[in-house]
Amino acid sequence: MKLESQTQNIARAVKRVCDEYHSRREKLLQILEELNELYGYLSEYVMKEVAKNLDMQVSEIYGVATFYSFLNTKPKGKNIIRLCQTVSCELAGKQRIANALENELGIRFGETTPDGMFSLEYTNCIGMCNQGPAMLINDDVYYNLDPEKAVDIVEKYH
Ligand code: FES
């Protein structure tokens, strides 16, 4: 019963957002962005409802949702760590930082810790190229990293 009302609420919210854009297919990206913002990610149910409203295939919605890195199809952790994978940071030792973060958190890149505290992701250049390796934690920028420093920084977010 409770689950049913929850799905009805989601269906209503999706319809409201789609209506705002007159359910126009060319507004799909804006619709998905808004729903991603609302729920933190795009669940299968949300994507199914968007498909219904826009008269599209769920696979088309899924294709767009997985193409853009600012859209999530899985729930994210409270803190999102984004390690720069672009060439300057790569040459400056990004892989050592990646290994240290994976060991520290017990997850791989693309995953979220079971307690929901951290997600590990790669990002492209964040503008700190001459001070790499660099990473973002949420909106905070960290650079000149070494493995120990990266782990110490992450610990402050626990
Ligand atoms: S290459 Fe990593 S910040 Fe630019």
CATH second-level architecture of 2-67?
Orthogonal Bundle (1.10)
Report the pLDDT value the prediction gives residue 40, as an integer from 0 to 100.
Answer: 83
Report the pLDDT value the prediction gives residue 4, as an integer from 0 to 100.
Answer: 64
Report the pLDDT value the prediction gives residue 69, as an integer from 0 to 100.
Answer: 79
The pick from 82, 85, 89, 94 for probing ligand 1's pocket by mutation, whose C-beta has the most ligand atoms within 8 angstroms, reads: 89
Question: Is there a common fold for 2-67 and 79-155?
Answer: no
Q: Which residue ranges make up each domain of the chain? A: 2-67, 79-155
Cα separation, 68 vs 80, whole angstroms: 16
Per DSSP, helices labelled H in the chain are 2-20, 28-39, 44-54, 58-67, 87-91, 94-105, 147-155
Report the pLDDT value the prediction gives residue 3, as an integer from 0 to 100.
Answer: 59
Mean pLDDT across the chain: 94
Q: Specify whether the CB–CB gap between 106 and 113 falls below 8 A.
A: yes
Residue labelled with tokens 């299968």: 44
Distances (CA, A) of 2 to 12, 46, 63: 15, 17, 31
The SS3 assignment for 131 reads helix
Report the pLDDT value the prediction gives residue 2, as an integer from 0 to 100.
Answer: 60
Ranges in the chain, pLDDT < 50: 1
Domain 79-155, CATH number (from 3.50.50.60, 2.115.10.20, 3.40.30.10, 3.90.79.10): 3.40.30.10
How far, in Å, from the CA of 135 to the mean position of ligand 1?
9
The response to whether 84 counts as a known ligand-binding position is yes
Q: Specify whether the CB–CB gap between 143 and 128 falls below 8 A.
A: yes
The response to whether 125 counts as a known ligand-binding position is yes
How far, in Å, from the CA of 76 to the mean position of ligand 1?
23
Q: Which atom of ligand 1 is nearest to the CA of 94?
A: 2
Q: Which residues neighbour 68 within 8 Å (Cβ) at sequence distance 6 or greater? A: 29
How far, in Å, from the CA of 98 to the mean position of ligand 1?
14
Q: Is the CB of 123 under 6 A from ligand 1?
A: no
pLDDT 10s digits, 37-77: 998 899 999 999 999 999 999 999 999 999 997 898 988 89
